[in-house]
A and B are shown apart, each in its own frame.
Chain A
Amino acid sequence: MISKEDSPTTTRAPEGGARVPKGKRRAGDVIFAGGAQGSGILILAILAGVAAFLVIQSFDSLMANTANFFTTSEWDPNVREEPAFGVAALAFGTVLAAAIALLIATPVAIGIALFIVYYAPRRVAAVLGYVVDLLAAIPSVVYGLWGIGWLVVELGPFYQILEEYLGFIPLFAGPISTTGRTMLSAGIVLAVMILPIITAMSRDVFQQVPQAHREAALALGATRWEMIRMAVIPFGRPGIIGGAMLGLGRALGETMAVAMILSPSLVISWFLLQSGNQTIAAHIALQYPEATGYGVSALIAAGLVLFAITLVVNMAARFVVSRRKEFS
């Protein structure tokens, strides 16, 4: 089919593109369009397939569940006759860890990106940019090892100070965990992991700020920092938000680092310096090898919730990033 169309097109081509009848589709276009369309459909099919798998596989346990799946924190899917489990604590832990990571990483990432684009000497900027890209490539197990073997220990004194001075805020109330395997530690490690994505996205938009806008600010008598506040950050905001959303997506789904650092318990706890909480991803990773009976199906149900949370976040990111187009 394609080869039939192909030969007349190629023989006619030298006579000039204008002679090709309007509406005639060239072989290359057809192949490319077909390929692109196919890939698009494939992606959708995979997405739908995963969703269908999750729904079907979790169906059994959700039907047998005697507790409310969304409001229960316990995880006892294998109690005979009345399995009871829910994602309340897990979903809470997942969102909390990601939120902490985002809260720490975003300002730092913006700072690094601004430094790279507007303050650092060219050579330093190049090295820094390289290091940031490198950070993104480190596997999460390594982050986990680093977190548990070094960070958690080093952060001990810092946690003590936090508790001492900010302990009146429930978030930082004691008694602080002696092992340091807390939500805050997990959040900090996640923050380091998502830092590169947010930095890279912010750096890209900061570099795109038109010279005209920067000069407009400077000509009004803005200092460099005022120029950044006036022209650069507002212009780059959609990109920063997009980067933050992508980082959030990664933080939500991160398994290894959290599983290694957090000492889990299935409660909803706001005490960041005490052990407790758990995330969906880490829970699945830790429980799956030993899951039997309804256990497997229940974990898949938890996975479905994570899938939904991630999907929502990513769609939000797409939405925000696409809105940028009006500005450029």
Chain B
Amino acid sequence: MAKRIDVSGLHVYYGDFLAVEDVSMTIEPRSVTAFIGSSGCGKSTFLRTLNRMHEVTPGARVQGKVMLDDQDIYAPDVDPVAVRREIGMVFQRPNPFPTMSIYDNVIAGAKLNNKRLSKSEADDLVERSLRGANLWDEVKDRLGKPGAGLSGGQQQRLCIARAIAVEPAVLLMDEPCSALDPISTLAIEDLISKLKESYTIVIVTHNMQQAARVSDVTAFFNLAGTGKPGKLIEMGETNKIFTKPEKKETENYITGRFG
């Protein structure tokens, strides 16, 4: 069940350092939202606050509000663990568990929710998730082999399979293709287009063509200056951002003129 994310007035700090300032945005369900912007402007930082993964970093904290449909994910009685089960994450470097087989990687998260997964349920889930990640045909004959033995692109799709096996509402992806070759990148992009039918997807990317290809909405972040916090400059339909951006900064960035 895809859900809407509603962020208002979000500030993110690392200790005393304000990394991201005053972001408000709405991320629509069943769509792909791309975050673009120069290095260090806080895209990853902001993304990680959407499922409270930033809390893993000592000293990181937020101010502001993030709503998942009508639930405030920062409400005092909300468990971050529960938030992360609803909002999954795929990382820049493929990170399958090296000690687990492909099969065990896929059901690792699902097992947390449901300890008594029967063998046939688990088999179903593994097949469904791997098919969902466009990986089934490539690995169905070696499910018992280590996940680390796959190619980088396959590993990344394995990580996506692992993330969707817990049936989240939202999938956050932080530069999921930056460690991959063009063919694997295309495979992941195809997958993203397919996944958006059932999930809310947010993807951080440095690749403008990629943002243009896969996303419906694009958000451009930028630094106000060195040592200053990152900000959301402009957000809108991808087409519009790439053809008629409203802000000069956005235009400079997407046409490759900085400054």
- Residues of A whose CB lies within 8 Å of any CB of B are 210, 212-223, 226, 230-231, 234-235, 237, 327
- Knowing A218-B84, A219-B51, A221-B166, say if A234 contacts B95 (CB, 8 Å): no
* Chain A residues with CB under 8 A of B108: 217, 220, 230
B97 lies within 8 A of A222 (CB): no
Task: With a 10 A CB-CB cut-off, give which of B82, B97, B99 has the most chain A CB atoms.
Answer: B99
Can you add 9 more A-B contacts, CB < 8 Å, to A212-B93, A216-B159, A220-B109?
Answer: A215-B53, A216-B91, A217-B108, A218-B53, A218-B56, A219-B53, A220-B108, A220-B163, A234-B99
A235 lies within 8 A of B51 (CB): no
Among residues of B, the one whose C-beta sits closest to the C-beta of A326 is: B98
Interface residues contributed by chain B, number (CB under 8 Å): 25
Say which residue of A220, A230, A231, A235 sits within 8 Å of B84 (CB atoms). A220
Q: How far is the CB of B165 from chain A (nearest CB, A)?
A: 9
Q: How far is the CB of B14 from chain A (nearest CB, A)?
A: 16
What are 30 A-to-B residue pairs whose CB atoms are below 8 Å?
Answer: A210-B95, A212-B91, A212-B93, A213-B98, A215-B53, A215-B56, A215-B89, A215-B95, A216-B95, A216-B96, A218-B53, A218-B84, A219-B53, A219-B88, A219-B91, A220-B85, A220-B109, A221-B81, A221-B82, A221-B84, A221-B85, A221-B109, A222-B109, A222-B112, A230-B112, A231-B97, A235-B99, A237-B99, A327-B98, A327-B99
Q: How far is the CB of A282 from chain B (nearest CB, A)?
A: 40
* Chain B residues with CB under 8 A of A230: 97, 108, 112
* Chain A residues with CB under 8 A of B239: none
For residues 55 through 93 of chain B, which have their beta carbon under 8 Å from a beta carbon of chain A?
A: 56, 81-82, 84-85, 88-89, 91, 93
How distant is the Cα of A220 from the Cα of B107 in the complex, in angstroms? 10
* Chain B residues with CB under 8 A of A231: 97
B95 lies within 8 A of A213 (CB): yes
Tell whether B100 is near chain A: CB-to-CB under 8 Å: yes
How distant is the Cα of A215 from the Cα of B174 in the complex, in angstroms? 13
Q: How far is the CB of A55 from chain B (nearest CB, A)?
A: 43
* Chain B residues with CB under 8 A of A216: 91, 95-97, 159, 162
Tell whether B113 is near chain A: CB-to-CB under 8 Å: yes
- Knowing A218-B56, A220-B109, A221-B113, say if A212 contacts B100 (CB, 8 Å): no
Closest 3 CB pairs of A and B: A221-B85, A220-B109, A234-B99
Q: How far is the CB of A205 from chain B (nearest CB, A)?
A: 12
* Chain B residues with CB under 8 A of A221: 81-82, 84-85, 109, 112-113, 166
B89 lies within 8 A of A219 (CB): yes
Among residues of B, the one whose C-beta sits closest to the C-beta of A238 is: B99
* Chain A residues with CB under 8 A of B84: 218-221
Q: How far is the CB of B180 from chain A (nearest CB, A)?
A: 16
Q: How far is the CB of A209 from chain B (nearest CB, A)?
A: 10
For residues 88 through 133 of chain B, which have their beta carbon under 8 Å from a beta carbon of chain A?
A: 88-89, 91, 93, 95-100, 108-109, 112-113
- Residues of B whose CB lies within 8 Å of any CB of A are 51, 53, 56, 81-82, 84-85, 88-89, 91, 93, 95-100, 108-109, 112-113, 159, 162-163, 166
A220 lies within 8 A of B162 (CB): yes
How distant is the Cα of A103 from the Cα of B113 in the complex, in angstroms? 32
Q: How far is the CB of B83 from chain A (nearest CB, A)?
A: 8
- Knowing A215-B53, A215-B56, say if A220 contacts B166 (CB, 8 Å): yes
* Chain A residues with CB under 8 A of B97: 213, 216-217, 230-231, 234
* Chain B residues with CB under 8 A of A234: 97, 99-100
* Chain A residues with CB under 8 A of B82: 221
B98 lies within 8 A of A235 (CB): yes
Among residues of A, the one whose C-beta sits closest to the C-beta of B159 is: A216
Among residues of A, the one whose C-beta sits closest to the C-beta of B165 is: A220
Q: How far is the CB of B119 from chain A (nearest CB, A)?
A: 20
Q: How far is the CB of B221 from chain A (nearest CB, A)?
A: 22
B91 lies within 8 A of A215 (CB): yes
How distant is the Cα of A214 from the Cα of B109 in the complex, in angstroms? 13
Q: How far is the CB of A314 from chain B (nearest CB, A)?
A: 25
Q: How far is the CB of A224 from chain B (nearest CB, A)?
A: 9
Q: How far is the CB of B161 from chain A (nearest CB, A)?
A: 12
* Chain A residues with CB under 8 A of B100: 234
Q: How far is the CB of A202 from chain B (nearest CB, A)?
A: 16
Q: How far is the CB of B138 from chain A (nearest CB, A)?
A: 21
* Chain B residues with CB under 8 A of A212: 91, 93, 95
How distant is the Cα of A216 from the Cα of B91 in the complex, in angstroms? 8
Q: How far is the CB of B155 from chain A (nearest CB, A)?
A: 11
